């Protein structure tokens, strides 16, 4: 009975492969929907931080002239939008709209004694126009916070007394400077407001502010700080919902900032309520704004092409240049990076994008997508069951049945956890199964376990190479069969916007290596338990400890290179830039420089030398890396496909060179080793 059960499970593999193929075919329409979604937004928007511009201008002899001059230069360079903050009294002071003093300062200014029980803020407007425009804004802001204000004048200029300490008064955000808004609008800039959530949510004030933004043609806004507008009062006032309704009525969306330490609180809820009218934004920091123009241009081009970024945010910062004894900023450097021949604007437009106000993706969701996804789920579970079958054959059918039952239950209880868990499982399974099948084919055609076999005939180098190349292509195709499953399971706009992220990248990069190592060590012709017993009884030597330490260091370095935060060495950056400029898309270095050539060389050698199959433990990195490329859902599918195919092509070329070098080295060794022995 046990043998019959084993035969049933092994025979079920061919049916599971049929289910996998059907699942792949069912996932393709979902992949098509994803492609249509990615084509729906092709406009890139450059946004400059106006507060930084004012800060830089404050160190110039004629600040207003400098601001006007730089705005014109930025506009001609391709910057179409300005980020405007909710202003504070300090912002108005830097813009020369008013002056502010504390109680001690005003006592010195007026030659009076400082009051013992008054610690107020004194505001003096620099012109009647500023007083007329800003005084109502200041009064409304502080009265909404139950802070009294009263009129005040000094030397013929109008002002206000705000009955709170200077340190407190300068923290309160108010509506943006109306003069600045008008000036920027008249110069043809779009306005991108930045809102804070530091004050209690006031529906009337927010409505008034958004009405003004609607008049100015605002289509998208950002948030400053760690939460979105209305988050702090949401539990009591349901303020995020109210805020989202106000935005939807005016057709205003929001932007998600890439690579911030933690997503702003309430952002996911607001994005959902806005039907994901969200655009991804890349922010160039103040420090990075001093990088060489060509480096900045490459960053912007890669962000828009490879990561679905549609808004690019520019910052600058004034700094002291002691070598020239002057204050400088990075505005000229930024303008050069945008407008010079071969600059960011030219590269972005050559990639098929246009400059303008960024738009959200129009999500393609065909009516039959859910049914195709369901079939894809069944196929993905079959692929995982196949992985189980090559290690524990008698568990093949139970693994598939239990996988289907577990998937159904998890899909109902925690759908997000289900889709990520199954996507990770199939992403691990496909490259592992593909490499196992390659090893099995090498075992079948290569040297036998016992060297004294009479039936084995060594293949010619040409035939070994032909078998290796066919195996290379077949293995890559099986590995890539995971891609439609991963795309179908994670085909949700939240992954494209990185509001949700694919988890388990480290496991994806380690599990196939570990599984292939186990398979090569324990599943190549001898009884598994006996080999395991021998391994466990082997004495541990110093060499083993050193080897384990080396493997640990290599493993830590390998993991440090995975994910979005992986570090890259200087030579690799140069190589990446060269490939990007030469072929338009850069493949992954570990694929075409290491893993793919090792696969070809390892297969070529293993057809003659049995133990060369150990090379497959490293070669599987290339297979899993191809799948991992598509697990970066924020990258366009076509870019990931080109990257993978290019890696395979370059890996093939380098692999052929490696085989040639090996053949030459082997020939030299055969010729010269007898002389060395003598």
pLDDT digits (tens, 9 = 90+) for 618-640: 999 999 999 999 998 999 999 99
pLDDT digits (tens, 9 = 90+) for 369-407: 999 999 999 999 999 999 999 999 888 888 999 999 999
Check: CB of residue 598 under 8 Å from CB of residue 513: no
Check: CB of residue 471 under 8 Å from CB of residue 392: no
Q: Which residues of 44-74 are buried (b: 16+ CB within 10 A; e: fewer)?
A: bbbbbbbbbbbbbbbebeebeebbeebbebb
Q: Which residues of 383-404 are buried (b: 16+ CB within 10 A; e: fewer)?
A: bbbbbbbbbebbebbebbeebe
CA gap 416, 418 in Å, rounded? 5
Q: How far, CA to CA in Å, does 654 sit from each of 366, 599, 606, 650, 667?
A: 42, 11, 18, 6, 20
**Ramachandran bin of 458, using left for φ above 0, alpha for ψ from -120 to 50, beta for the remaining angles:** beta
> C-alpha 611: how far from its chain's center?
40
Can you give the pLDDT at residue 586? 79
Model confidence at 201: pLDDT above 90: yes
H runs (alpha helix) in 394-448: 396-413, 415-445
Q: Which helix (H) or strand (E) holds 614?
A: none
Check: CB of residue 554 under 8 Å from CB of residue 594: no
As a whole number, the mean pLDDT across the chain is 88
Paired residues of 43 in beta bridges: 354
* 633: DSSP letter: T
- Of 288-297, 501-510, 657-666, the one with minimum mean pLDDT is 501-510
What pLDDT band is residue 523 in, cutting at 50, 70 and 90? Answer: confident
pLDDT digits (tens, 9 = 90+) for 236-248: 999 999 999 999 9
Model confidence at 215: pLDDT above 90: yes
What pLDDT band is residue 562 in, cutting at 50, 70 and 90? Answer: low
Model confidence at 267: pLDDT above 90: yes
Largest CA distance in the chain: 113
pLDDT digits (tens, 9 = 90+) for 30-51: 999 999 999 999 999 999 999 9
């Amino acid at each position: 009975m046990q043998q019959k059960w084993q035969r049933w499970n092994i025979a079920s593999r061919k049916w599971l492969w049929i289910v996998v193929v059907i699942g792949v075919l069912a996932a393709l329409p979902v992949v098509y929907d994803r492609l249509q979604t990615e084509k729906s937004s092709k406009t890139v928007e450059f946004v400059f931080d106006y507060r930084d511009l004012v800060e830089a201008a404050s160190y110039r002899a004629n600040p207003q002239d400098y601001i006007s001059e730089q705005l014109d230069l930025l506009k001609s360079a391709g910057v179409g939008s300005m980020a405007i903050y909710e202003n504070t009294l300090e912002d108005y002071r830097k813009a020369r709209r008013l002056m502010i003093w504390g109680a001690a300062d005003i006592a010195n200014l007026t030659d009076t004694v400082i009051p013992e029980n008054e610690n107020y803020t004194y505001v003096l407007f620099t012109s009647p126009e500023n007083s007329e425009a800003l005084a109502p804004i200041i009064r409304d802001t502080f009265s909404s916070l139950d802070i009294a204000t009263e009129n005040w004048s000094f030397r013929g200029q109008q002002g206000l007394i705000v009955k709170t300490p200077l340190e407190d008064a300068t923290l309160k955000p108010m509506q943006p400077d109306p003069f600045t808004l008008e000036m920027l609008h008249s110069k043809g800039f779009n306005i991108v407001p930045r809102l804070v959530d530091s004050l209690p949510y006031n529906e009337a004030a927010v409505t008034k502010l958004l009405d003004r933004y609607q008049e100015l043609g605002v289509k998208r806004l950002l948030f400053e700080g760690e939460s979105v507008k209305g988050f702090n009062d949401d539990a009591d006032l349901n303020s995020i919902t109210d805020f989202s309704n106000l935005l939807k009525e005016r057709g205003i969306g929001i932007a998600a900032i890439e690579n911030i330490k933690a997503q702003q609180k309430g952002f996911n809820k607001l994005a959902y309520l806005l039907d994901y009218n969200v655009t991804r934004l890349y922010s160039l920091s103040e420090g990075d704004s001093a990088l060489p123009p060509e480096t900045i241009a490459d960053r912007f081009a890669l962000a828009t092409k490879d990561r679905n970024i549609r808004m690019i945010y520019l910052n600058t910062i004034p700094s002291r240049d002691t070598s020239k004894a002057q204050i400088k900023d990075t505005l000229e450097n930024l303008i050069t990076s945008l407008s010079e021949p071969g600059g960011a604007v030219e590269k972005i437009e050559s990639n098929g994008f246009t400059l303008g106000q960024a738009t959200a993706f129009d999500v393609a969701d065909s009516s039959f997508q859910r049914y195709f996804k369901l079939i894809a789920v069944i196929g993905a579970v079959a692929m995982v069951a196949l992985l189980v079958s090559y290690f524990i054959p008698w568990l093949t059918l139970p693994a598939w049945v239990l996988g289907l039952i577990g998937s159904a239950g998890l899909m109902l209880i925690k759908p997000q956890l289900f889709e990520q868990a199954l996507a990770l499982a199939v992403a691990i399974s496909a490259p592992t199964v593909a490499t196992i099948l390659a090893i099995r084919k090498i075992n079948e055609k290569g040297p036998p376990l016992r060297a004294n076999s009479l039936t084995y005939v060594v293949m010619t180098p040409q035939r070994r190479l032909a078998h290796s190349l066919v195996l290379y292509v077949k293995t890559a195709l099986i590995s890539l069969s995971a891609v439609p499953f991963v795309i179908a399971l994670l085909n949700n706009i939240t992954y494209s916007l990185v509001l949700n992220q694919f988890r388990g990248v480290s496991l994806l990069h380690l599990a196939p290596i570990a599984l292939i190592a186990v398979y090569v060590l324990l599943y190549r012709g001898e009884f598994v338990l006996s080999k395991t017993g021998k391994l466990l009884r082997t004495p541990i030597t110093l060499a083993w400890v050193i080897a384990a330490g080396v493997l640990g260091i290599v493993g830590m370095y390998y993991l440090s290179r995975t994910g979005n935060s992986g570090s890259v060495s200087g030579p690799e950056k140069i190589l990446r830039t060269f490939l990007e400029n030469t072929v338009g898309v850069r493949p992954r270095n570990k694929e075409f420089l290491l893993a793919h050539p090792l696969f070809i060389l390892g297969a070529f050698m293993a057809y003659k030398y049995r133990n060369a199959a150990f090379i497959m433990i490293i070669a599987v990195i290339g297979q899993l890396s191809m799948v991992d490329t598509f697990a970066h859902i924020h990258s366009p599918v076509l870019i990931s496909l080109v990257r993978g195919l290019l890696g395979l092509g370059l890996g093939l070329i380098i692999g052929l060179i490696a085989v040639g070098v090996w053949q030459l080295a082997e020939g030299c060794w055969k010729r010269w080793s007898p002389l060395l022995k003598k």
